[in-house]
Amino acid sequence: MSAPLRPRPAAPYGPAASRDRAVTGAPAAVTSRLLTVGVVGAGRVGAVLGAALVAAGHRVVAVAGGSGASRARLALLLPEVPRRPVPAVAHAAADLLLIAVPDDALAGVVADLADRGALRPGQVVAHTSGAHGLAVLAPAAAVGARPLALHPAMTFTGTPDDLSRLAGISYGVTAPAELRPLAARLVADLGGVPEWVGESDRPLYHAALAHGANHLVTLVNEATDRLRDAGVARPEKVLAPLLRAALENALRLGDDALTGPVSRGDAGTVQRHLARLAATAPESVPAYLALARRTADRAIAAGRLRPVDAQSLLGVLADTSRAVNA
């Protein structure tokens, strides 16, 4: 277990509050004082962010989460915070209500809290969904609460180890102009950096993260399985240095990091790959084809692969696509 996140105390009332007013034009009480917080959802994200807010000096006074897994997380991360029903958490969250529930459940939770009268004017109601922006919080805004979308661009395990990973990460933030100072302050208290995302851009923002991180897990596990099929006893040992180098190179060099048979136009090699995959793991063929075709497109566009050298490769991919679809 890694050490907890080092507290990053939020600024109290006093001289710092005056500085906030001068710098941001926002009310000093909004951006400088310690916040009274409630957390709805003790999944991997909610429990960790709640613990990080405590480490920053804020008061997390109630949390909702009833499953066995949620109770176990709370015992590790927020052992002194009482569990309460969702409406009671909203009532207790005098300053900030943080809602960390699955994307498809979010609208229902917000609407129910608004219908029950559990939200109040001036209260900040924030959610941690990457896919949603402010529109999903419309019922809260209708009763005078202030809406905020605050998504950590990080994968979580729901353990104390996550706390040490928060330093320096980005948060996709969508906020009304008047709430930006508070949003920036919350992200700073969590040790992160805000990335301001427009309301209409939230789906694209989230698609990019899911494509890059979630699908990466699937891709790595596919490669691991195929190495086992090839008789490799410890595929993770083979893949770890290769994948780390590939990721670092891609982040640093972009498409110039492309290597391998597709980037060279080696049609024969790719054809043999596809034949063996079809015989051993046919479920892997469609993903290989889609990624190989997209890799070829990017290699051509980046000037890494000349169109004339790509013709045989593209023919292999097209022919195999027809065979698979048939």
For residue 69, the model assigns a pLDDT of: 93
What's the Rg (C-alpha) of the chain? 24
pTM check: above 0.75 = yes
Calpha distance 317→239 (Å, rounded): 25
For residue 65, the model assigns a pLDDT of: 92
Give the three-class secondary structure for 261. Answer: helix
Strand residues in the chain grouped as ranges (E): 36-40, 59-64, 96-99, 124-127, 146-152, 170-174, 193-196
| Contact between 57 and 9 (Cβ < 8 Å) | yes
- What b/e sequence results for 102-120 when a residue is b if at least 16 CB atoms lie within 10 Å of its CB, and e otherwise? eeeebbebbeebbeeebbb
Superfamily of domain 15-197: NAD(P)-binding Rossmann-like Domain (3.40.50.720)
Give the three-class secondary structure for 147. Answer: strand
For residue 272, the model assigns a pLDDT of: 97
Q: Which helix (H) or strand (E) holds 239?
A: helix 235-253
Q: Which of 50, 62, 58 is nearest to 11 (CA)?
A: 58
Do strands 96-99 and 124-127 pair parallel, antiparallel, or not at all (unpaired)?
A: parallel
For residue 300, the model assigns a pLDDT of: 96
For residue 32, the model assigns a pLDDT of: 62
Q: Which residues of the chain have pLDDT under 70?
A: 1-32, 320-326
| Contact between 232 and 238 (Cβ < 8 Å) | yes
* Alpha carbon separation from 11 to 16, 29, 56, 132 (Å, rounded): 6, 10, 10, 30
For residue 166, the model assigns a pLDDT of: 97
- Which of the 8 DSSP states describes residue 83? B
Calpha distance 290→300 (Å, rounded): 16
pLDDT in tens, 225-272: 999 999 999 999 999 999 999 999 999 999 999 999 999 999 999 999
